[in-house]
C-alpha cells in the first residue's frame, strides 16, 4: 500500500491537538519574524553605510523600518512562505510534526499551493480551528475552504 493510500483513512485531528501545534508554530513564526527583522536592519545599515540611504538626524534604523511597506512584506511574506512550503512539500509544519498532524487532500496527497494559500487566508490566524469544537468530523473553517483535511498520524 502506498503512503497516500495509508494516510487517506486516518482519523481527523481534534481541537486541542491542533491548538498545541498552533502554539509551536506561533513560536516558529515569531522566530522567522525576528530573522526577517535582522535581515531588514542589516539591509538598512548597509544602505546607510554605503550612502544609498540617508536618514534624518535622530532617526534610528528600526524607526525607519517600521514605516516601510517592503519591510512589512518581508516579515509577513517570510511567515506565509514558511506555512505554504511546509504544507505543500511535507504536509506538516514543525508544530504539526511534533503533534503527529498532517494536512492533506482526501486521497492522502499533499495539498497544492493554491489550497495552501486558501487555507492560510481563511484560517483567521488560527481562529478557524474553533469550528472543530462544533463539527462532528473535526472539520475547521480552513479545511472546508481549502478542500483538505488535517489527520492524526499513527505512532511509529
As a dihedral over the C-alpha atoms of residue 28, residue 29, residue 34, residue 40, rounded to 10 degrees, the angle is 140
Cβ 95 vs Cβ 105: under 8 Å: no
pLDDT at 95: 97
Average pLDDT score over residue span 70-86: 97
Q: pLDDT tens digits for 27-47?
A: 999 999 999 999 999 999 999
Taking the C-alpha atoms of 109, 134, 117 and 36 in order, what is their torsion angle to the nearest 10 degrees? -110
Which three cell numbers mark 54?
Answer: 540617508
* Global pTM value: 0.87
CA distances, 123 to each of 1, 10, 139 (Å): 33, 22, 12
pLDDT range class, residue 1, cuts 50, 70, 90? very low
What would the pLDDT profile of 86-115 be if each residue is shown by its tens digit? 999 999 999 999 999 999 999 999 999 999
Q: What is the DSSP string of 4-51?
A: HHHHTTPPBP-HHHHHHHHHHHHHHHHHHHHHHHHHHHHHHHHHHHTT
Amino acid at each position: 500500500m502506498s503512503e497516500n493510500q495509508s494516510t487517506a483513512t486516518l482519523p481527523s485531528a481534534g481541537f486541542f491537538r491542533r491548538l498545541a501545534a498552533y502554539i509551536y508554530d506561533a513560536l516558529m513564526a515569531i522566530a522567522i519574524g525576528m530573522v526577517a527583522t535582522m535581515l531588514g536592519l542589516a539591509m538598512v545599515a548597509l544602505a546607510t553605510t554605503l550612502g544609498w540611504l540617508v536618514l534624518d538626524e535622530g532617526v534610528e534604523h528600526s524607526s525607519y523600518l517600521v514605516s516601510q511597506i517592503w519591510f512589512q512584506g518581508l516579515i509577513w511574506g517570510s511567515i506565509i512562505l514558511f506555512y505554504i512550503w511546509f504544507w505543500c512539500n511535507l504536509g506538516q509544519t514543525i508544530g504539526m510534526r511534533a503533534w503527529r498532524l498532517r494536512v492533506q487532500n482526501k486521497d492522502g496527497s499533499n495539498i497544492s499551493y493554491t489550497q495552501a494559500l486558501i487555507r492560510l487566508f481563511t484560517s483567521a490566524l488560527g481562529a478557524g480551528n474553533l469550528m472543530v469544537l462544533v463539527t462532528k468530523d473535526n472539520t475547521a473553517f480552513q479545511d472546508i475552504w481549502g478542500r483538505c483535511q488535517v489527520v492524526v498520524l499513527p505512532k511509529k
